[in-house]
Amino acid sequence: MQRRRNKWVAFAAWLGIWLCLLAALALLMLVPGWILPLLLAPLVAWLAATRIGRQTWSATEVAIATIPQRLGSSSVVVVGIAGVVGVLVALLAMAAGFAATLQQSGSDDTAIVLRAGAQTELNSVLDHDTVTLVSQLPMVRHTQAGQPIASSELVVVAALPKRSTGLDANVEVRGVGERAWDLRPKLRLIAGRKFSPGLRELIVGKRALEQFAGVGIGSTLKLNGQDWRIVGEFEAGDANDSDLWGDFEVVGPAYRRGSSATSVTVRLTDASAFESFRAALATDPRIKVDVKTTRDYFNEQSAQLTKLINGLGTAIGLIMGIGAVFGALNSMYAAVAARTREIATLRAVGFRALPVIVSVMLETMLLATLGGAIGAAIAWLLFNNYTASTLGANFTQIVFAFQVTPELLWRGLKWALAIGLLGGLFPALRAARMSVTDGLREL
Amino acid sequence: MKYLQLVWAALLRRKTRTLFTLLSVVAAFLLFGLLDSVRGAFAGAGASVNGVNRLVTISKITFTMQLPKSLLERIRAVPGVADVTYANWFGGIYQDPKNFFPNEAVAPNFIDAYPEWRMSAGQRAAFRNTRTGAIVGAKLAKQFHWKIGDRIPLQGTIFPQKDGSNTWTFDLVGIYTVADPKMKAQENALLFNWDYFDEARQFGNGSVGWYVVRIADPARADAIAQQIDAISANSDHETKTQSEHAFQLAFLSQFGDIGLIVGAIMAAVFFTLILLTGNTMAQAVRERIPELAILKTIGFTSGSVLGLLLAEAILLLLLGGVAGVLIAGSVAGGLEATTGAVFPPIVGSAAVWARALGLMLLIGLVVGALPAYRGLRLRIVDALAGR
């Protein structure tokens, strides 16, 4: 009877430990990263103020002091976790950078009009009459001079060699009119001058200049058999930076597109005018178009790839993390085994089980934090602002910079702590359950 | 081989430690299996034996520009060209943009250029004779539960019909299969008749997206490609002709440097793995020094002790590694079944296995080397005395 009850007690304890562990992991994943330092405060207070806390601290001190004797297995914990956090943060930074580049391109009070069903500018064609009808709607804001802020734009594609590989990649060439500048207030020239209307001149986006060869100011580009001169460089801080811009009236004929446009972007009188703008376009029988706010348009373009990279990054991090947990378990079991006599001595001189458990946990968490910090630091040093490019919705390259945001660094640290928690708890429990007499006899 | 039991016993000496190390190795090779297959799918696209006698002719400006259909007969007249066919990217959406699959308007003889695609003669004839007919790959048909006789509506994104409507409806008349398991990914396209498409579309009539040129002698591919491009040189629709493989590589490279990303991740994974298993092996040997001394005392040579320790490390890596790649295979299979991925990983291909096994042996040797060297240099007297 007694035996059976013991079994149940053991089972209940085991279940309790697992439930606590899962709860702690869930909590760790849910809370925002900046809370972590706040959680540290009560821990420090407990360590400093209570008797048992002070016991724990001295046990931890002993554990930390012996780390140099177990450098090999301790570094497994650190490097394993650094690897997981580094890869995770780098991949998430790629997704964050791509999403930010596209999302910054959009706003709520500008709307883009495409041919019905076209989804992207590449697929869209709007004739001159449609463009005129759209621009004349009353929801479109006007300049001081009384002109509607509506920009009909023509997107065509040029193949340019990438600097990194030398392989041709598609680059967006955008034919724009005077109003394009009013629609993108962030965009400004940083070198050279604007293209002159009517001439075969282009200005190049900052990111495009970084990624593609042969587009520096002063160089000549062959597009569709004709020579174009690059006369300026611009920066907008968003997806526009991947483009080359030329005069709408010149790009169209050069690509045999006549006076047709691929899209019209308008600035609305204010964001709330969008619904009536959409309704006005939908009810006009002369035109068949789709309209979205530019924020929605660019968000949709980034959503799929961002989701994919985030999913991949998490999956890869998870698999690596499982590997790292087992590595940490191994190392911490070995650490506890190596310190058997030390721990037994502590118990013999009156230390309770809790300080021993907490001290092993603290040691693991410390190693994990170190690993997480190293991984995050490496990801930040190597990849923050690292530029890459991929195929966007228009079948052209979108150049973006990786963004290792503080939020991602916190997330990496949280993963490190979760791995430390999993890898430290069971060895800590073993340390506490160890028989004192056997432990003291251990060599 | 006769020492296998001895090596096995050494691994089972500390079961938990071996298990944990093994599981780390499984995780590392699970990742390797998945990532290497993705990398392979990108690097090896179009590198099939069937593709060597196919050239792709696109607009020199970029492949989204159209070419005039009048080039067809002029390309066919180039010496060495066996047959020419053409297609147009349609980019239609079935129900939801998330259901992406390639759909193209193709010439009547398009499918003949792809002998690796299997379809019955009856269905081939039906496709040729049905104006609104379409054929799909078996994988795609399975994904959407299509069967012959179904009407499939697609929403055009590039090409509206003459009346301005965007809905194109096709009659499913054939389902093709691809025998080569590595090329199963090609079973996800929908093809329909170019003539119907050209007649019904609102604009762009008489232009094609690209030509596929079949040549008799792959060795003359470069010369023929140059001759084809010479036809339209200095016109306003210059062409660029390249092998199918080169075309697909150039296309995929536009997505980004997949090889670099995968390589960096692998480096992080394996660096960690080497440290981790190396540490385990070092611990295992450190604990067993007296045992090793006994082995030497009863007549094992230093060389065979070295061999035993290396074998132990390699066995550990092989056990975990093989399990990892096997799991990768089933995970990839499951992913492919549920998502119908455009580039399904081809886990289980001989190349992936060869690379994985090579890595297992290499890492086994690296992590076994140091402890094994210790075993080799062991002095029996010192070891037995516990010095």
Output the six-digit token pair for A202. 């282009």
**Neighboring chain B residues of A388 at a CB cutoff of 8 Å:** 256-257
**Contact call for B238 and A225, based on CB within 8 A:** yes
B117 and B212: one domain? Answer: yes
A145: distance to nearest CA of chain B, Å? 37
Helices and strands (DSSP H and E) totals, chain A: 14, 12
Min Cα separation A192/chain B (Å): 27
**Is residue B276 one of the residues assigned to a domain?**
yes
Q: Establish if A285 belongs to a structural domain.
A: no
The answer to whether residue A21 sits within a structural domain is no
B96-121 residue pLDDT tens: 888 888 999 999 999 988 888 899 99
**pLDDT tier, B165 (very low <50, low <70, confident <90, very high otherwise):** confident
Please indicate whether, in this complex, the C-beta atoms of B64 and A169 are within 8 angstroms of each other.
no
Question: How many domains, in total, are found in chain B?
Answer: 2
Spatial CA neighbour of A384 closest among A70, A46, A114, A92: A92
Residue B195 lies inside a defined structural domain of this protein: yes
Instruction: Provide, as residue numbers in chain B, all residues whose Cβ is less than 8 Å from the Cβ of A117.
Output: 155-157, 160, 166
Note down the domain range covering A253. 110-269
What would the two tokens of residue B181 be?
């398991």
Residues 50 to 89 of B: which have CB under 8 A from any A CB?
A: 61-62, 64-65
Name the one residue in this structure whose structure tokens are 């009810």. A283
The predicted model scores a pTM of: 0.86
- Residue range B195-202: mean pLDDT, rounded: 92
Q: CA of B296 to nearest chain A CA: how many angstroms apart? A: 25
Contact state of B23 with A322 under an 8 Å Cβ cutoff: yes
Containing domain of residue B188, as a range? Answer: 66-236
Chosen from B35, B39, B42, B64 to mutate, greatest number of chain A CBs within 10 A:
B64
Domain boundary (B171, B201, B236) is at: B236
Q: What is the rounded distance in angstroms from the CA atom of residue A158 to the CA atom of residue A112?
A: 23
Smallest CA–CA distance from A262 into chain B, residue? B158
Mean pLDDT of A368-377: 95
CB spacing of A87 vs B268 below 8 angstroms: yes
| B156 and B304, same domain (yes or no) | no
User: Is residue A378 in some structural domain?
Assistant: yes
- Among A269, A293, A327, identify where a domain stops: A269
The pLDDT-based confidence of B387 (bands split at 50, 70, 90) is: low
Asked whether residue B354 is assigned to any structural domain, the reply reads: yes
Task: Write the pLDDT tens digit of every residue in A4-34.
Answer: 778 888 888 888 888 888 888 888 888 777 7
| Nearest chain B CA: its distance from A147 CA (Å) | 31
Distance CA B285, CA B288 (A): 5
For B151-188, give the DSSP string.
EEEEE-SS--BTTS--EEEEEEEEEEEE-SGGGGGGGG
Distance CA A205, CA A173 (A): 10
Q: What is the pLDDT of residue B336?
A: 64
The reply to whether residue A158 touches residue B61, judged by beta carbons under 8 angstroms, is yes
| pLDDT of res. B286 | 84
Kindly state whether B161 is in contact with chain A, defined as any CB-CB distance less than 8 angstroms: no
Tokens describing residue B114: 């792809």
Q: Report the chain B residue with the minimal C-alpha distance to residue A157.
A: B62
Verify that A134 and A91 share a domain, yes or no: no
- Evaluate if residue B338 carries a pLDDT over 60: no
On whether residue B73 sits in a domain, the answer given is: yes
Tell me how far apart the 2 most distant CA atoms of chain B are, in Å: 97
Is residue B26 included in any domain, yes or no?
yes
Give A-chain residues touching B25 at CB under 8 angstroms. 323
- Nearest chain B residue to A80, by CA: B272
Q: What is the mean pLDDT of chain B?
A: 86
User: A226-256 pLDDT, tens per residue?
Assistant: 899 999 999 998 999 999 999 999 998 888 8
User: Could you tell me the end-to-end alpha-carbon distance of chain B, in angstroms, rounded to an integer?
Assistant: 32
Residues A311 and A359 reside in one and the same domain: yes
Pair A370, A248 in one domain: no
Whether residue B265 lies inside any domain: the answer is yes
B267 touches chain A (CB under 8 A): no
Q: Based on the domain organization, do A46 and A135 belong to the same domain?
A: no
- For residue B1, the model assigns a pLDDT of 62
Mutate to test the interface with B, among A154, A330, A391, A398 (most CBs of B within 10 A): A330
Q: Are B225 and B265 part of one and the same domain?
A: no
Q: Does one domain contain both A73 and A193? A: no
What pLDDT shows up at residue B47?
A: 58
How many other CB atoms are there within 10 angstroms of residue B115's CB atom? 10
* Beta-carbon separation of B276 and A80 below 8 A: yes
Which residues, at least 6 apart from A184, have a Cβ–Cβ distance to it below 8 Å? A236, A240
- Residues in chain A closer than 8 A to B20 (CB atoms): 326-327, 329-330, 333
- Beta-carbon separation of A123 and B91 below 8 A: yes
Which residues from chain B sit within 8 angstroms of residue A90, using beta carbons?
A: 264
Instruction: Give mean pLDDT, residues A40-45.
Output: 87
Cross-chain Cβ contact B64/A157 below 8 Å? yes
Q: In this structure, are A306 and A253 located in the same domain?
A: no
Chain A: residue whose CA lies nearest to B164: A288
Residue with tokens 């432990």: A439
Distance CA A423, CA A80 (A): 11
Chain A and chain B share a number of CB contacts under 8 A equal to: 133
Minimum CA–CA partner of B19 in chain A? A326
Is any Cβ of chain A less than 8 angstroms from the Cβ of B204?
A: no
Same structural domain for residues B86 and B190? Answer: yes
Same domain, A331 and A377: yes
Alpha-carbon distance of A353 to A13, in angstroms, equals 15
**A18 in a structural domain:** no
> What pLDDT, in 10s, does the model give residues A336-370?
888 888 889 888 888 888 888 999 999 999 999 99
Does a structural domain hold residue A372?
yes
CB contact under 8 A, B254 and A397: yes
A74 and A141 within one domain? no
Q: Are residues A188 and A261 in the same domain?
A: yes
Residue B342 pLDDT level (bands cut at 50, 70, 90)? very low
The pLDDT-based confidence of A422 (bands split at 50, 70, 90) is very high
Chain B residues close to A256, C-beta within 8 Å? 236
Instruction: Examine residue A70 and state whether it is found in any structural domain, yes or no.
Output: yes
For residue A443, the model assigns a pLDDT of 58
A323 and B272: CB-CB below 8 Å?
yes
Task: Tell whether the model's pLDDT for residue A41 goes beyond 80.
Answer: yes
- Residue pair A238/A105 in contact by the 8 Å Cβ criterion: yes
Residues in A closer than 8 angstroms to B27, CB to CB, are: 319-320, 322-323, 326
Check: CB of residue B64 under 8 Å from CB of residue B126.
Answer: no
Indicate whether B83 and B195 sit together in one domain: yes
**pLDDT over 50 (residue B343):** no
Please tell me whether residues B75 and B221 are part of one structural domain: yes
CB contact under 8 A, B282 and A326: no
Question: Cβ contact (<8 Å) for A327 and B271?
Answer: no
pLDDT tops 60 at residue A388: yes
Looking at B205, B236, B267, the residue that finishes a domain is B236
Task: Give the alpha-carbon dihedral of B354, B355, B358, B360, to 10 degrees.
Answer: -110
Inspect the interface and report whether the beta carbons of B64 and A170 lie closer than 8 Å. Answer: yes
Q: Do B257 and A165 touch (CB under 8 A)?
A: yes
Identity at A132, one-letter amino acid code: T
| Cβ under 8 Å to A: B residues 166-195 | 166
CB contact under 8 A, B166 and A117: yes
CA distance B269 to chain A (A): 7
pLDDT for B341 beyond 60: no
Tens-digit pLDDT profile for residues A50-92: 888 888 888 888 888 888 888 888 888 999 999 999 999 999 9
User: To probe the interface with A, which of B279, B370, B374 has the most A CB atoms within 10 Å?
Assistant: B279
Contact check, Cβ <8 Å, B157/A118? yes
Whether residue B254 and residue A159 make contact (CB cut-off 8 A), yes or no, is no
Number of domains comprising chain A? 2
Domain membership flag for residue A13? no
Are A330 and B17 in contact (CB < 8 Å)? Answer: yes
The arithmetic mean of pLDDT across residues B279-303, rounded, is 86
ipTM: 0.83
Contact B31 A331 (CB under 8 A): no
pLDDT, residue A283, reads: 92
Q: Does residue B24 belong to the interface with chain A, where contact is any CB pair within 8 Å?
A: yes
Looking at residues B201-211, what average pLDDT do you find? 90
Of A196, A199, A228, A225, nearest to A215 by C-alpha is: A228
Q: Do B275 and A123 touch (CB under 8 A)?
A: no
> B215 and B142 in one domain?
yes
Q: What is the mean pLDDT of chain A?
A: 89
pLDDT at B48: 62
Indicate whether A343 and A197 sit together in one domain.
no
The pLDDT > 70 percentage for chain B reads 93
* A165 shares its domain with A311: no
Strand (E) or helix (H) holding A154: strand A150-161
Question: What confidence score (pLDDT) does residue B329 get?
Answer: 84
Mark whether B110 and B202 lie in a shared domain: yes
Residues B205 and B300 in one domain: no
Pick the closest to residue A208 from A200, A224, A197, A219 (CA basis). Answer: A219
How close B92 gets to chain A, by Cα (Å)? 10
Q: A48: distance to nearest CA of chain B, Å?
A: 35
**Helices and strands: H and E segment counts in chain B:** 13, 12
Out of A247, A269, A291, a domain closes at A269
User: What region does A369 belong to: left with phi over 0, alpha with psi -120 to 50, or beta?
Assistant: alpha
Question: Domain for residue B191, yes or no?
Answer: yes
CB A177 within 8 A of CB A248: yes
Measured CA to CA in angstroms, residue B141 lies from A408, B146, B169, B371 at distances of 41, 5, 16, 56
- Cα separation, A177 vs B258, in Å, equals 37
pLDDT given for residue A353 in this prediction: 87
Q: How confident is the model at residue A40 (pLDDT cuts 50, 70, 90)?
A: confident
Query: Do both B31 and B117 map to the same domain?
Result: no
CB contact under 8 A, B21 and A330: yes
pLDDT digits (tens, 9 = 90+) for B37-95: 777 777 766 556 667 889 999 988 877 788 999 999 999 999 999 999 999 999 899 99
Task: Please give the pLDDT value at position A278.
Answer: 94
- Boundary-marking domain end, from A269, A285, A319: A269
| A430 found inside a domain | yes
Same domain, A86 and A122: no
Q: Is residue B58 part of a domain?
A: no
Contacts of B273 in chain A (CB under 8 A): 323
